[in-house]
Structure formats: C-alpha cells, structure tokens
Chains A and B, each alone.
Chain A
Amino acid sequence: MEPSNAIELKDITKTFGEVVANDKISLTVRRGEILSLLGENGSGKTTLMNMLSGIYFPDSGQIFVGGKEVTIRSPRDAYELGIGMIHQHFKLVDVLTAAENIILGLPGKGPLDRKAIATEISRISRKYGFEIDPNRKIYEMAVSEKQTVEIVKVLYRGADILILDEPTAVLTPQETEKLFSVLRNMKADGKAIIIITHKLHEVMEVSDRVAVLRKGAYIGTVDTDQTDPLKLTEMMVGRSVSLNIDRPEPKEPVDRLRVEDLTCVNDEGVTVLDHVSFTARGGEILGVAGIAGSGQKELCEAVAGLQPVTGHIRYFPSEDGTAASAEGIELVGRDPMAIRQLGISLAFVPEDRLGMGLVAGMGMTDNMMLRSYRRGHPFLADRKPPRELAETIIRELEVVTPDVSTPVRRLSGGNVQKVLVGREIASGPSVLMAAYPVRGLDINSSYIIYHLLNKQKQRGVAVLYVGEDLDVLLELCDRILVLCGGKVSGVADGRTATKEQIGLMMTRTDAEGRNGHGA
C-alpha cells in the first residue's frame, strides 16, 4: 500500500431497505490531490461520503485511512481520523455565532475561552485565505460566509481529509473562484480533498482525478487531464448524450405579463422585493437568476397571488389582447384561484421538493385532482379523468412509479418533479413559472424538463424559469432577469451575456436595470 493514499475504500456496500445505494465500491484518495466524485442523482455519492463522515454505517466493506483499517461509527470517530465533511445543507446552528459553531462538540476543560478560540480561528483563516468574523451570528450571514464557517469548522478540528458535498451549488461564479483558490491552497498544504459536484466544467477546472459512480456502482477513476466533459458524461450516464440544450428562436413574442414596481415586505418586516419591474413575453423563456433568497420565491408567489404585494402585475391574455385591452388585467389583489383560472400556472419547486406543489402522502391521481376537482359534480369526486392524466404523464415523461396510487413521497426526486411539471403543463397555461425545476435532478431528467419547457415556449407560453446554474440559464433562456437583494439589477440577453457579467449583476444592484426590459 502506498503511504500517499489518504483514504482507501474496499468493497463498500450500503443498502436502505431494498434499495442498494452503494454496491461494492472501491476507491482511493491521495494526499495532496483534489478528487472529484461525479455521478447522477441517486448514484450514491453522498451516501458513500456519509459513511466516511460517520453519518451512515456501511453494511460491508473496509475503510483504510492512512493505510490502517478503521471503523467509523460516528461523526466523532471521523473527526478523530482527520476526516471532515462540508455538507450540502449546512450543518450550522443559526442562532449561534461562527465561533460557537466552530467549537461545537469539541472536548475541553473549564469554561469557554472565547478569546483564545477567536485567535485560533483567525490564524486558520489567514493561512488559507478566508475572511470570517468569529462573533457574527450565522443567521446574519450570506450563504458563502456560512460555507466558510463550515470549512473553518472542519479545519479547526484538524481535518486533513476534506469532503465537500456540492459546495458550489449556492455560490456565484466569483465566490466559486474564491473557494477553488482556497481548495488549491489546502491541496498545496498536503490535504486530501474530495469534492462532489454535478457541474462538469468545475470538475475539469479544479480536480486532479475524477471518480465516477453510476446507480450505486463504481465505474472508474480517470485523470482529469486525460478526459473531457463528454467522456465523463458517458461514464456517468452509461451511454452517450448530447450536452447541448436546444434554444429555438422565439416566434413573434408578445407581452404577456408586465410587472411594474412590485414591492413585497415579508412577515419579518424585510423588503424582499424592491420595486421590481420587468416584462415576460409569450413564446419566450425568461430566466430569473440571483443568489438564493434574492426574492425569486416571492416573485413567483406574487404572480401566483400567494404573496401580499404592492405595485402592478398586468396580464395580457391573448395575442390580439394587447389592442383590446391596453391596460391588461391587474393581478395584484386577485386570489390565487382567480389567477389560476386566467391560465397562469406556478410549477413551483421549493427547497423541499414536495412543499408547495404536491401532497406527499397522496398518489399521482389524487395529486392531479388537486387542480381539477372543481370541475364536474359539485359533491362527488370523479377520479377517472385525473387517473388518465396521471397515466399520460407516466407514459410521456417516463415517470418511474409502481402505479398511479403510490404516494408521491416514495418516488425519487426527479420523478416527483416530472409529475409536478407534467401536471402544470397539462392545464394548458399561458404563463408557466418553474422555480428550480431541475434542482437535484440528474442530467437525463434535467434534459427532459428543459425539453418540456421549450415545447411550452413554442406553444406561445410565457415561461419564467428560476434557476441557479448559470450555464443552464445562459443556454436555455432568451432573456435573463437578474435579482440582487430583491432589486432588479438588470436584464441580460441569454445569447450574448457571459457568466461573469451575470455573476457580477447577482452581487450588485445596477440602477439602470430598474426600468426593466432592455436587451
């Protein structure tokens, strides 16, 4: 065994009930390298890493750390072996300060010495190039700061093997660059780094080697400089796929939704939408970009009538409607039911997938009925049409489910999203809002969703696509509305804008963008 191997996994298997999450996976990570762990959703990346960090316990197989076989029964064991994991959903306590989070759970004698802790934190920060204020509370921090706290927390515990689970999903391109330079500093320091990600260009940019998993099985490890995104995708999916997203030219776009001066103050008195103005056109996909929590959610909910707002949302029903009613129909003040009947559909996929769109405990048929039960008999429910719709969706969108009455909670994330989007599209909307419709989906399912959205666009629907992956936004959308702290910082042309431009717009407000629909 080479001493340079930080971690060696041998024949690791883990099952959840009947589902085999990891099937005899063997993998090595060397000191002083960055290894990318690549795989579609449900391929078992996170499960595998959770076994290294002590969250799960493997059913069988061996783990070697620094050449010695070890048993990792709890996160504490993992820390003692120098393994630290930065989880995709940050494991931080919001009401505690950065310093308190960092020392959480550490043994120590006597009362807390906050000063000494702060000194040690700034020493680590300087060494690797972080910026961190030990006395700030987590809930006051931006996402990237929280991530910094997570990384410092792991380093403070003396970890020399770091696992990062999709660390860039929530970062702007600039923040991602910063993170990567920190990672390179750590690599130079001799630490072993495993990074889980979906984004191929990041894999190519930052890693030395790439390990690929597919459906719980280990496919292979390749050197990054001897591969390319296309080859990696083939390894991941198991067959060759095209990585291009279609973007048909919009056909005679007409103004469908005109939002003017939309302002929304949430329960806590924070202004989450600040004089937002833009236009969404039929036959066009309008992307909405922004750091998580910049007002995307409130914007969609405002249009759907779920958020109390001030300002105007004018809706122009049909192609010739512009002449007939120059004013349009005012949506602000209407209840969600009335708005829905106008043909405005919200395929909203909140952070928890099942949150607002579907009822987790009900089957597909009943979930279809949520939209249609008002039709037909006023008292009795007719399950036949919704069942037929459910069956159509299963057939056309390749939903994997035992049958239409299986609770949607049991379906995988991708299938849940297909059911949701499928149902919204079936109602024949004229405005379709999709918030993070591909979040957590693998490449294949994502492309099915992109295709569906494009089809709606060609039907003349005004599509609002709220996304987080800038590469996708730039490939799919005709125009991109960028939000920053609840303000519109500009509207970019999807065909000409660059990632850097959008990234910059996401972090600063451009006053010119206020009045709207340039580009």
Chain B
Amino acid sequence: MSINFMGMLMAAVLAGAPLLFGVLGEILTEKSGNLNLGVEGMMFMGGVAGLAGSFYYEQSAADPSAVVSALLAMGCAFLCAAFGAFIYSVLTITLRANQNVTGLALTIFGTGFGNFFGEAIGNSTASHYMAVGDVTKAVFNSGIPVLRDLPVVGQLLFSYNFMVYLALAVAGVMAWFFSRTRAGLNLHAVGESPATADAAGINVTRYKYLSTCLGGGICGLGGLYVVMNSASGVGGVWVYNCMNGKGWIAVALVIFATWSPARALLGSLVFGALSIMRFYVPLGIPAQIYDIFPYIATVMVLIAVSLRKKRENQPPESLGLAYFREER
C-alpha cells in the first residue's frame, strides 16, 4: 500500500481552508461572548450570495473580468453572511434573546435561504443550474502564477487558490490583533466579563456587534469557498445542501483550537485531512465509514478538551450570556 503523502497534504489544505474560515469567524464571534451556532447557516448565505454575485455579473457583462467577478463574489458572500450575523446580533445583544436558540434558528434559516435561492436561480436558467463560467472558476481554482511553477516548493506551497492564502492571512491578523492591540485586549475583556469591560469604559455593545458581524462575514467566505472550489468534484455551481455540516465541524473546531487562531490552523488541516482520507489511504472499508471520521474526531476532541483544566484554555467566561448594565 503506497500513500501519496504529498497529494494528501495538498488535498487536506484545500479541504481544510473552508473550515478555517468558519473557525476563525466563530473564534472572533465567541471572543466577544457571543456563541453563534449559526455558522452553517451563515456559510450557506455567504455561499449562495457569492455565487449569485458572480453569476449575475457574468450574465450582464459582455467580457467578464476574473478579478471583478472574484471581488464581487467575495463582497456579496461577506455582506450576506454578515447580515445573517447582524440579525443574530440584534436578537441576542439588543433584545437579549437566548443565544443558543437564535443561533440554531439562524442555521435553519441560512440553510433554507441558500437552498431556496440556489435552486430558484438555477431553475430560471436553461441548464437548471446556477453555475459560473470558466473565467470565474479558474480564479478560484488556480495557484499563484510563476511561483507555482517552481520545482518542489512550487507545488507544495504556491499551487493553492488565493482564498487559501487569504484564510492564512486572516488567521495571522487575528492572532496579532488578539495579542498585540488594545482593541484585541478590550475584546477579550468583553467576552470574559462584560461588566468589567463596561466599568472600564469599553463600549460593550459596539464590540459585540462588530466582532459578531465581522465573524459572520468571515464564515460567509468559507461558504463561498465551498461553492467555488472544485477540489471536491464540482465547483462554481450550486449543489443542493453543499455545506453538508462543515459549519458544525467549524463550531467544534473552535473548542479544539481553544479560541486560538494559530491552533485553528492545525485543527483545520487535521479535519481537512480526515475528510479526504478515503482517496489517499485505502483501508478497504466502505466510503461511508470514512465519512464518519471527522465527526468521530470531533467527539474525541470535545472529550479531550473538556479534560484539560488550564484557565487560559477555557471558553470566554461570559460566552452565551447576554449583558445588561443595569441588571440587579
């Protein structure tokens, strides 16, 4: 049995990148004390909106440009998912609704939203699919020009699509933001103890809204990635139920990463590898068993994490709780 490690690693990166967006978005959200279980829903919203953005641009432009199409797709994906997070924010921050229930509702809403528009727009075309052209598809599926042609390292490091590098950059920026900036410190305090942050003169509501909406937008980019990338077979076309639980794995990975962007990289890579394992590690077992691996790993991770006791690895203390200054 020979395993193509190089190929597996590259495939794992491609499969892990959408998870990484989801994890990073949710880490940013949870740092503010908001537990948004709507990651899956926001990924659906971002995915369908981004695809629709490119789709309509290509329809209307005589000679569609790849860059414009990609930017439009990202903008639409980010804004639509951030809008989902905004609904969540209004309900949980301003109206102080229960965060779990609101997040679950957002997942159900987003899933329906994505599938409805994905199918409806598709049905209005001749092919019955909402699909973008080769121009857009190419930009979401090709590596860095010139660099990717370098021997050895070119393939390993520079052959991925630009969103993979974007995800890495987001992780880097978030890690720097949390540890080196005043705003990052303030956000940490908001999530740990909003009353303390408030008494220290921090605008708790603004921090919660901003980080939740930005976090939602980042999750939406993950959704766009899933829709556009063709590593899993088809890309650039709406497939019914395409998120398929990736948002939930992202939520679990946040715990695995113990709210650290750096560890989120590792977690996403491991889970990406698990999800493509069956193509690279033939064990002679049914494909369905392979499909279970990521979920089994999630359960194991949750158990392992709950056994760790270090204070710094605990969730933000006020996670899941609404804050009201004059509460007595």
| Contact across chains for B185 and A104 when beta carbons are under 8 A apart | yes
Contact B311 A104 (CB under 8 A): no
Provide the residues of chain A in CB contact with B185, threshold 8 Å: 96, 100, 103-104, 112
Interface of A is mostly: loop
> By the criterion CB–CB under 8 Å, are B201 and A111 in contact?
no
Task: Please provide the chain A residues from 69 to 99 with a CB less than 8 Å away from any CB of chain B in the complex.
Answer: 74-76, 79, 85, 87, 91-96
Alpha-carbon gap, A96 to B178, bound state (A):
12
B192 lies within 8 A of A75 (CB): no
Say yes or no: B182 contacts A112, CB within 8 Å.
yes
A140: nearest residue on chain B (CB-CB)? B311
A272–chain B nearest beta-carbon distance, Å: 15
Interface membership of B126, Cβ < 8 A: no
Known: A100-B185, A112-B180. A105 touches B201 (CB 8 A): yes
B200 contacts A104, C-beta separation under 8 Å:
yes
Asked whether A378 is an interface residue with its Cβ less than 8 Å from the other chain, the reply is: no
A16-B328 contact, Cβ under 8 Å, with A53-B199, A104-B202, A111-B180: yes
The verdict on A137 contacting B311 (CB below 8 Å), with A76-B201, A104-B196, A112-B180 known, is: yes
Say yes or no: B200 contacts A108, CB within 8 Å.
no
Q: Is there an interface contact between B202 and A94, defined as CB atoms closer than 8 Å?
A: no
A53 to B196, CA, bound (A): 13
Given A75-B198, A75-B201, A105-B200, answer yes or no on A95-B186 (Cβ-Cβ < 8 Å).
no
Please tell me if A268 contacts chain B, counting CB pairs below 8 Å. Answer: yes
A1 contacts partner chain B, Cβ-Cβ < 8 Å = no
Of all chain B residues, which has the CB nearest A19?
B328
Q: What residues of A have a CB within 8 angstroms of the CB of B192 in the complex?
A: 93-96
Known contacts A106-B182, A112-B181, A139-B311; decide if A93 and B188 are in contact (CB<8 Å).
yes
Give a binary string over B294-328; 1 marks a CB under 8 Å from any A CB, 0 the rest. Answer: 00000000000000010110100100000001101
Chain A residues with Cβ below 8 Å from B228 are none
Query: Residues of A contacting B195 with CB < 8 Å?
Result: 91
Instruction: Judge whether B181 and A111 touch: CB under 8 Å.
Output: yes
Q: Which residues of B contact A53 (CB under 8 A)?
A: 199
A76 to B180, CA, bound (A): 23
Looking at the complex, which one of A91, A108, A268 makes contact with B196 (CB distance below 8 Å)? A91
Count of A-B residue pairs with CB < 8 Å: 78
* Smallest CB separation, A51 vs chain B (Å): 11
B199 and A75 contact, CB distance less than 8 A: yes
Which of chain B's residues has its CB closest to A47's CB?
Answer: B328
B197 at the interface (CB under 8 A from A): yes
Contacts of A74 in B (CB 8 A): 198, 201
Complex alpha-carbon distance, A357 and B198, angstroms: 31
* A450 close to chain B: CB less than 8 A: no
Complex CA–CA separation, A92 to B185 (angstroms): 13
Q: A95 to chain B: which residues have CB within 8 Å? A: 188, 192, 311-312, 314, 317
B186 with A104: CB separation less than 8 A = yes
Given A96-B189, A96-B192, are A104 and B326 neighbors across the interface (CB < 8 Å)?
no
Determine if B193 is an interface residue (Cβ-Cβ < 8 Å). Answer: yes
Q: Does A56 belong to the interface (CB within 8 Å)?
A: yes
**Interface hub of A55, A104, A107 (most chain B Cβ within 10 A):** A104
Beta-carbon nearest neighbor of B193 in chain A: A93
Q: At the interface, yes or no: A402 with Cβ under 8 Å from chain B?
A: no
Q: Which residues of A lie under 8 Å from residue B314 when comparing CB positions?
A: 95
- In this complex, the interface size class of chain B, counting residues with CB under 8 Å from chain A, is 20 to 34
Q: In the complex, are the beta carbons of A105 and B326 less than 8 A apart?
A: no
Q: Which residues of A contact B180 (CB under 8 A)?
A: 111-112
Query: Which residues in B have their C-beta under 8 angstroms from that of A107?
Result: 182
Which residue of B has the minimal Cβ distance to A16?
A: B328
A96-B185, A103-B182, A111-B180 given; A91·B200 CB < 8 A: yes
Which one of B189, B311, B325, B328 lies within 8 Å of A105 (CB-CB)?
A: B189
Looking at A16, A55, A87, A105, the one whose CB has the most chain B CB atoms below 10 A away is A105
Q: B181 — which chain A residues lie within 8 A by C-beta? A: 111-112
Chain A residue nearest to B192 in the complex (CB)? A93
Neighbouring A residues of B182 by C-beta, 8 Å: 103, 106-108, 112
Centre residue among A112, A137, A269 by max chain B CB count within 10 A: A112
Instruction: List the A residue with the shortest CB-CB distance to B176.
Output: A111
Q: How far is the CA of A136 from the CA of B142 in the complex (A)?
A: 48
Q: Measured between C-beta atoms, what is the minimum distance from B182 to chain A in Å?
A: 5
* A74 to B204 alpha-carbon distance, docked (Å): 11
When chains A and B are docked, how far (Å) is the Cα of A79 from the Cα of B199? Answer: 9
CB atoms of A105 and B186 under 8 A apart = yes
| Nearest chain A CB to B309 CB, angstrom units | 6
Contacts of A85 in B (CB 8 A): 199
Residues of B133-181 whose CB lies within 8 A of A: 180-181
Q: How far is the CA of A76 from the CA of B182 in the complex (A)?
A: 16
* CB-defined contacts of B201 to chain A, threshold 8 Å: 74-76, 79, 105-106
The residue from A79, A91, A153, A267 contacting B193, defined by CB atoms under 8 A apart: A91
The distance in angstroms between the C-alpha atoms of A111 and B200, with both chains bound, is 19
* Contact (Cβ within 8 A) B188 A96: yes
Q: Mark A369-381, 1 if CB is under 8 A from B, else 0.
A: 0000000000000
- Cα separation A100 to B325 with both chains bound (whole Å): 22
Q: Are B189 and A93 in contact (CB under 8 A)?
A: yes
**With the chains together, A108 CA to B185 CA distance in Å?**
12
Q: In the complex, A153→B182 CA distance in Å?
A: 16
What is the 8 Å Cβ interface bit string for chain A, positions 101-119, against chain B (1 contact, 0 not)? 1011111100110000000
**CA–CA, A3 to B181, complex, Å?**
40
The interface residues of chain A lying within 8 Å CB-to-CB of B200 are 75, 91, 104-106, 153
Residues of B within 8 A of A56 (CB): 326
Contact between chains at A91 and B199 (CB < 8 Å): yes
Which B residues touch A87, using CB under 8 A?
199
Could you say which residues of chain B place their CB within 8 Å of the CB of A94? 192-193, 311, 317
Contacts of A79 in B (CB 8 A): 201
B325: chain A residues within 8 A (beta carbon): 55
* Across-interface contacts of B312 in A (CB, < 8 A): 95
Most buried by A among B182, B309, B314, B325: B182
The answer on a CB contact under 8 Å between A92 and B196 is: yes
CB distance from A317 to the nearest CB of B (A): 40
Q: From residue A291, how far is it (CB to closest CB) to chain B in Å? A: 21
CA distance in complex: A56, B326 (Å): 6
Q: In whole angstroms, what is the CA distance A501 to B228 when docked?
A: 74
Chain B 190-222 interface 0/1 with A at a Cβ cutoff of 8 Å (1 = within): 001101111111100000000000000000000
CB distance from A19 to the nearest CB of B (A): 10
15 A–B pairs (Cβ distance < 8 Å), ordered by A:
A55-B199, A74-B201, A75-B199, A76-B201, A91-B195, A93-B196, A95-B312, A95-B317, A104-B197, A105-B189, A105-B202, A106-B201, A112-B182, A112-B185, A139-B311
9 closest A-B pairs (Cβ-Cβ)? Answer: A76-B201, A105-B200, A91-B196, A105-B202, A104-B200, A105-B201, A93-B192, A91-B199, A111-B180
A-B contact sample (8 more), CB < 8 A, given A55-B199, A104-B189 = A75-B201, A91-B193, A91-B195, A91-B200, A92-B196, A104-B202, A137-B311, A268-B309
List residues of A whose CB falls within 8 A of some B CB. 16, 53, 55-56, 74-76, 79, 85, 87, 91-96, 100-101, 103-108, 111-112, 137, 139, 153, 267-269
